[in-house]
Amino acid sequence: MKSSLHHRIVRSFACTALAAGMAATAQAGTLSIGHTTWVGYGTLYLARDLGYFKEAGLDLQLTTIEEASMYMAAQASGKLSGSASTIDEILKYRSKDFCFKAVAALDESHGGDGIVVQNDIADMQGLKGKSVAVNEGSVSQFWLSYLLKKAGMSMADIEVQNMTADDAASAFIAGHVPAAVTWEPNLTMVKQKGSGKVLVDSSATPGVIVDVVALDCGVIEKQPEDVKALVAGLYKAVEYTKQNPEKAYEIMAKGVGGYLSNPKDLAEAAKGVKFYDQAMSEKLLGTPGKAGDIAEIIKLANETWSTLQGKPYAVSYEDLVDTSFVTP
């Protein structure tokens, strides 16, 4: 688990490294968002590159930062308007001094995350006493903890090997660990190499791993028209994807880049997510006066991180979600 000293160092580095290249957040007509490389963020690029944001007067600036603590630090210091991330990931950073709220739902992992194991491990109980490679403090650990609890176990029942999702997959394929928590394209790679099997993937836990756009509270207050444009553009992008998937994935791949820069790879990865349209977003986030399904995920995340990190988390649904923009 990362120490508080490590966390401070990362925050300091992030602020220093990003300060030079990013504009201040409070600029009408502009929103800047940091995110990791993930297929679920493809609709942000799709809406941008189809001109949906621009025609509504919004300039959306997207920056790939492969470490949550770094993009959250950049947001906290005013270098980013917000982030695209899982709700459980950002919950850990919410405080009275760092106000941000989810304004849009992006996607749900529906098979894109998984646990790979040696062939002789038949179920979650089979992980007891074994080494499991997982990124501590990340959505992977949150999800693993959830699955273990459902099986009547806890993190104390396994031996955690802390490493990134990609490194975890590499260690598993190399035979260094009997189990690992990772995501696509690593799940497919394990199957192709015959290194083991996928014990369970996120299609078995619908609605648990969800990505949102969370914006700084000051940005939401000062730039409501920009937030409206962001949400409306995302809805249009999801509808475009339904009607023109091949072209949509081609545009997304060019924008997201990285290991998803090939449209075929992005299309394959997209099978493991559900992009949220308006109806799904209203159900997840809720509407004014009515809490959405995400309230239960927030409750679960509070409980999970309080246990895993040994300090109390009590972030409320109202603290973390703004439903003002969900329905255009």
Beta bridge partners of 290: 287
Conformational region of residue 108, where left means phi above 0, alpha means psi within -120 to 50, and beta covers everything else: beta
Conformational region of residue 152, where left means phi above 0, alpha means psi within -120 to 50, and beta covers everything else: left
Quick: pLDDT tens for 200-218. Answer: 999 999 999 999 999 999 9
Q: Is 137 helix (H, G, I), strand (E, B) or coil?
A: coil
Of the chain, the percentage scoring pLDDT greater than 90 comes to 90
Query: Which residue intervals of the chain bear CATH 3.40.190.10?
Result: 30-110+208-319, 113-204
Q: pLDDT confidence of 26, banded at 50, 70, 90?
A: low
Average pLDDT on 136-157 reads 96
d(CA 172, CA 165): 11
Quick: pLDDT tens for 51-86. Answer: 999 999 999 999 999 989 999 999 999 999 999 999
Quick: pLDDT tens for 246-267. Answer: 999 999 999 999 999 999 999 9
Q: pLDDT confidence of 28, banded at 50, 70, 90?
A: confident
Contacts of 210 (CB under 8 A, 6+ apart): 86, 87, 105, 106, 107, 108, 109, 284, 294, 297
Per CATH, domain 113-204 is 3.30.420.300 = no
Output the pLDDT for position 291. 95
Contacts of 263 (CB under 8 A, 6+ apart): 246, 249, 250, 252, 253
| Angstrom distances, CA of residue 240 to CA of 59, 172, 245, 263 | 20, 38, 7, 16
Mean pLDDT of the chain: 92
Output the pLDDT for position 23. 43
Identify the H or E element spanning 285: helix 278-285
Quick: pLDDT tens for 262-319. Answer: 999 999 999 999 999 999 999 999 999 999 999 999 999 999 999 999 999 999 999 9
Output the pLDDT for position 15. 42
| Angstrom distances, CA of residue 146 to CA of 106, 161, 300 | 22, 18, 8
The CATH code of the domain at 30-110+208-319 is: 3.40.190.10
Phi, psi (5° rounding) for residue 205? -130, 65
**Positive or negative: CA dihedral 235, 277, 255, 91:** positive
